[in-house]
Structures are given as structure tokens and as C-alpha cells.
């Protein structure tokens, strides 16, 4: 199924702050959801689009990397064909720090009272679907976000240099296995990260989750200098 993805905050779509119950009509969606989760700019809204499993993963990574640092995130997916048939759209490059996935970005444009109501209705439907559905809603924990982004750095789909220092600091613990397996060599990273990663390795060695013998000679030499 072709899908659209957007970051939301699910509690804002609930009937009230003390209940997880969703409204039975988009006409009853709280103003907070419109103001804080939709935020149209020049009558347009930013989404990410996929047509296959690889692009689905790319959309998630792109959304994760719009954050200043890894954190918990709520993402809703809707059926792309049910929306794009009725709302004008243009494919503009996204502004995610995961630059290799920015081509998956799309803007829904010329929004008005009628078609934004359609969009809110589709989001509300997705929020109410069971977890087994092809579309719906999922909350990703900080640990899931870090693991998924780190996997793309290890596969060299994302450069650590594209991310902020806060991202890098929180990802250090994710790299020990890749360094042990030889998937991240010293030369894979620019020099600005060598000390940071070496400190992370040293911490894992102290925790007995990694041994000095597990890492390459080049990493051993770098760890000895921290």
C-alpha cells in the first residue's frame, strides 16, 4: 500500500487530557490537534511518502532525523491514494538531516477548510485502527529511534556528520557491536568523532559488554589515548 507519514502527538487527538478515547468525527477533533499537529504553512502541509518497504523505512528515518536529538516520537500513516486523489500536492525535497531520504518528501498544497477536514478525518481513522493494520499509528521509543538511525549509519546510508552533536552523543552506545564486527572503521568517521566514539568504546569495555581484544588495532590505539 502507498502511504503518507506525518509526526503527530497522539494525546492532542484524544477527546480530553484524561481519556485516551478518540472523537467519533473529525468535526469534534480538539483545536489543539489542529494548532500543534497540523500547522499548515502557506496553505500546505509536509508529509513523507512511500511505495514499498524500503521507502517506508526511509520515511521513518527521515522523520526521526527532523528532531534535534533522539527522542520518543508518534507517527501516523494514512492511505496515500485516498488523499492525493483529492488534494493537490508537489514533491519538494525534505529538510531532514538524513539527506539521502529527503527525496521521499511531499507537500500537500492549496489546503482549505474542506480538504484539511478530509485529511484530519483520515488521520483520525488511522489513529483508531488496530496495530495489525497496514496503516495506522505507532509510538517509537527513544531506544528504537537510536537503533534504527544507527543501523543506517553503519550501512553508510547516513553520515554521522549530518547529525547534531546531541544525536552523536546519544548514538555512541549503538556502535560497539558494529565496531566489534568491523562494520565501522576509524576512517569511516571524520576526525571530529574519533575521540567521542573512542570514549564510547572505553565505556562499553568498562561495562564488560566489549573487550579490548574485540576491537581493531586502530581502535585500540585510539581508545588508549582517551
199 domain residue, yes or no: yes
Average confidence score pLDDT of the chain: 90
Q: Of 100, 119, 142, at which residue does a domain stop?
A: 142
Taking alpha carbons only, the member of 65, 53, 78 closest to residue 161 is 65
For the residues 4-18, what does the mean pLDDT come to?
Answer: 90
- Specify the pLDDT at position 146: 94
* pLDDT above 80: residue 125: yes
Q: What is the pLDDT of residues 43-64, one digit of tens each?
A: 999 999 999 999 999 999 999 9
Say if residue 10 is in the same domain as residue 114: yes
99, 8: one domain: yes
| Number of domains, the chain | 2
Q: Is residue 87 part of a domain?
A: yes
Place of cell 496515500: 80
* Residue 155 maps to a domain: no
Q: How confident is the model at residue 1 (pLDDT cuts 50, 70, 90)?
A: confident
Q: Torsion angle of alpha carbons 79, 82, 86, 92, nearest 10°? A: 20
Bridge partners (DSSP) of residue 78 are 4
* pTM of the entire predicted model: 0.88
Domain boundary among 118, 142, 166: 142
Residues 118 and 216 in one domain: no
| Residues 26 and 123 occupy one common structural domain | yes
- For the stretch 156-201, pLDDT in tens is 899 888 888 888 888 877 887 788 788 888 778 878 788 888 888 8
Say whether pLDDT at 99 is over 80.
yes
Average pLDDT over residues 24-50: 90
Share of the chain above pLDDT 90, in %: 51
Assigned domain for 160 exists: no
Per the structure, the complete domain to which residue 128 belongs is given by 3-142
Residue 100 within any structural domain of the chain: yes
**For the chain, what percentages of helix, strand and coil (3-state, to nearest 5) are there?**
50, 15, 35
C-alpha cell recorded at residue 142 = 527513544
Examine the fold and report which residue of 142, 158, 186 is the final residue of a domain before the chain moves on: 142
- Domain assignment present for residue 24? The answer is yes
11, pLDDT greater than 80: yes
Kindly state whether residue 201 falls inside one of the protein's structural domains: yes
Residue 128 has pLDDT above 80, yes or no: yes
**167 in any annotated domain:** no
Amino acid at each position: 500500500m502507498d502511504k503518507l507519514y506525518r509526526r503527530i502527538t497522539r494525546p492532542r487527538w484524544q477527546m480530553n487530557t484524561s481519556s485516551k478515547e478518540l472523537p467519533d468525527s473529525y468535526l469534534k477533533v480538539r483545536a489543539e490537534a489542529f494548532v500543534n499537529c497540523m500547522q499548515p504553512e502557506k496553505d500546505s502541509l509536509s508529509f513523507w511518502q512511500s511505495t514499498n518497504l524500503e521507502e517506508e523505512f526511509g520515511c521513518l528515518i527521515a522523520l526521526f532525523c527532523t528532531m534535534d536529538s533522539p527522542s520518543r516520537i508518534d507517527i501516523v500513516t494514512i492511505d496515500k491514494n485516498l488523499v492525493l486523489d483529492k488534494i493537490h500536492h508537489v514533491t519538494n525535497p525534505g529538510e531532514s538531516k538524513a539527506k539521502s531520504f529527503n527525496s521521499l518528501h511531499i507537500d500537500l498544497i492549496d489546503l482549505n477548510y474542506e480538504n484539511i477536514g478530509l485529511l484530519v478525518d483520515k488521520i483520525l481513522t488511522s489513529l483508531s485502527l488496530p496495530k495489525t493494520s497496514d496503516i495506522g499509528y505507532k509510538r517509537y521509543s527513544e531506544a528504537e529511534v537510536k537503533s534504527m538511525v544507527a543501523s543506517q549509519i553503519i550501512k553508510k546510508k547516513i553520515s554521522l556528520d549530518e547529525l547534531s552533536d546531541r544525536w552523536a552523543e546519544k548514538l555512541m552506545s549503538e556502535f560497539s557491536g558494529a565496531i566489534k564486527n568491523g562494520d565501522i572503521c576509524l576512517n569511516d568517521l571524520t576526525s571530529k568523532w574519533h575521540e567521542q566514539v573512542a570514549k564510547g568504546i572505553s565505556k562499553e569495555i568498562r561495562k564488560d559488554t566489549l573487550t579490548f581484544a574485540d576491537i581493531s588495532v586502530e581502535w585500540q590505539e585510539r581508545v588508549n589515548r582517551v
